[in-house]
């Protein structure tokens, strides 16, 4: 059986967005996407209990992107991808 993760995050290239789904209520969260190569940063804060899914537009410029999610309780989730 599959174990459901608290957060699912993916890059949707055709729309240049980071689609993030919260499968559990983690309270207030902060999401930051940093393009290391271009020096661009996009971010958003919201309550995952009221908004369980959010789309964060990014530029779509090439480079290494670091996604950081910080929860209300101080937990940090991080991932990366390259365009």
Query: What are the DSSP calls for 12-47, one per residue?
Result: ETTTTEEEEEESS---EEEEEEEETTTTEEEEEEEE
- The alpha carbon dihedral of 26, 78, 67, 39 has a sign of positive
The Cα 26–Cα 23 span in angstroms is 9
Report the pLDDT value the prediction gives residue 51, as an integer from 0 to 100: 95
Indicate the pLDDT class of residue 69, thresholds 50, 70 and 90. very high
What six digits make up the tokens of 71?
Answer: 């929860």
The Cα 43–Cα 45 span in angstroms is 7
Global pTM?
Answer: 0.90
pLDDT higher than threshold 70 for residue 27: yes
- Count of other CB atoms within 10 angstroms of residue 3: 4
Q: What is the mean pLDDT of residues 29-50?
A: 96
The Cα 10–Cα 30 span in angstroms is 16
């Amino acid at each position: 059986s599959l174990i459901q993760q608290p957060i699912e995050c993916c890059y949707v290239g055709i729309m240049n967005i980071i689609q993030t789904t919260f499968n559990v209520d983690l309270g207030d969260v902060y999401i930051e996407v940093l393009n290391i190569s271009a020096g661009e940063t996009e971010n958003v804060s919201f309550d995952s209990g009221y908004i369980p899914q959010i789309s964060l537009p990014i530029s779509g410029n090439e480079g290494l992107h670091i996604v950081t999610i910080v929860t209300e309780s101080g937990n940090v989730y991080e991932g990366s991808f390259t365009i």
